[in-house]
Amino acid sequence: MNIPSFTVPKPIGSVLSVLPQYPHSVAFAQALNLVLGPATLQSEALTPLRGKLLCIRVTDAQVALYVSLGQKTFGAARRSREPDLTLSATAHDFMLLATRKEDPDTLFFSRRLLTEGDTELGLLAKNTLDALDLPPLDIKSFAPGKVLGMIKARLLA
């Protein structure tokens, strides 16, 4: 599946920038938990990320998502301090990363993926996620019916 190039329109980004960021962070944390799954989230390899404040900044959407990895799952976080690590890119570039259509190093060296804060932590996170050999993200798996089905299965488990 090819992902056509897109940019979030400025008027939409302007509206998103004034909305509370916490609900976006809750949705993002839950998406990470669904995509990564319990086995990956509880992996020893993710230990250095536990308790760190991570920020994902979607530049064209003017949204900043704050999450932290607890003992078992990612959770939304409020920005109570400077994030330990901030990753910034456009929505399109994050989609390319998530679907593995583009390599993080390529985006980083072309200055389309920016890191701020503890860059060593960023490198560690990138290498850890690469080593986990996750399947490419299938956007179709985020259809509302499928997401609700996954949530229901987790709640019943």
Q: Express each pLDDT in 98-144 by its tens digit.
A: 888 888 889 889 999 999 999 888 888 777 766 666 665 666 665 66
Residues 6 or more apart whose CB falls under 8 angstroms from that of 23 comprise none
Residue type, 7: T
Q: Given this model, what pLDDT does residue 140 score?
A: 65
Residues 6 or more apart whose CB falls under 8 angstroms from that of 144 comprise none
Q: Are 78 and 22 in contact (CB under 8 A)?
A: yes
Mean pLDDT of 16-33: 91
DSSP state of 61: T
Task: Report the predicted TM-score, pTM, of the whole model to 2 decimal places.
Answer: 0.80
Confidence of residue 15 (pLDDT cuts 50, 70, 90): very high
Give me the DSSP letters along 104-130. Answer: HHHHHHTTSSEEEE-HHHHHHHHHHHH
Report the C-alpha gap between 78 and 149 in whole angstroms: 28
In terms of Cα–Cα distance, which of 125, 117, 91 is closest to 9? Answer: 91
**Lowest-pLDDT range, 71-75, 80-84, 138-142?**
138-142
Q: Are 65 and 21 in contact (CB under 8 A)?
A: yes
Q: Which range in 30-34, 38-42, 75-79, 140-144 is most confidently predicted, on average pLDDT?
A: 75-79
Task: For the chain, give the percent of residues with pLDDT over 70.
Answer: 85
Two structure tokens written together for 125: 């996170």
Report the C-alpha gap between 44 and 73 in whole angstroms: 13
Q: Given this model, what pLDDT does residue 97 score?
A: 85
Report the C-alpha gap between 98 and 105 in whole angstroms: 14
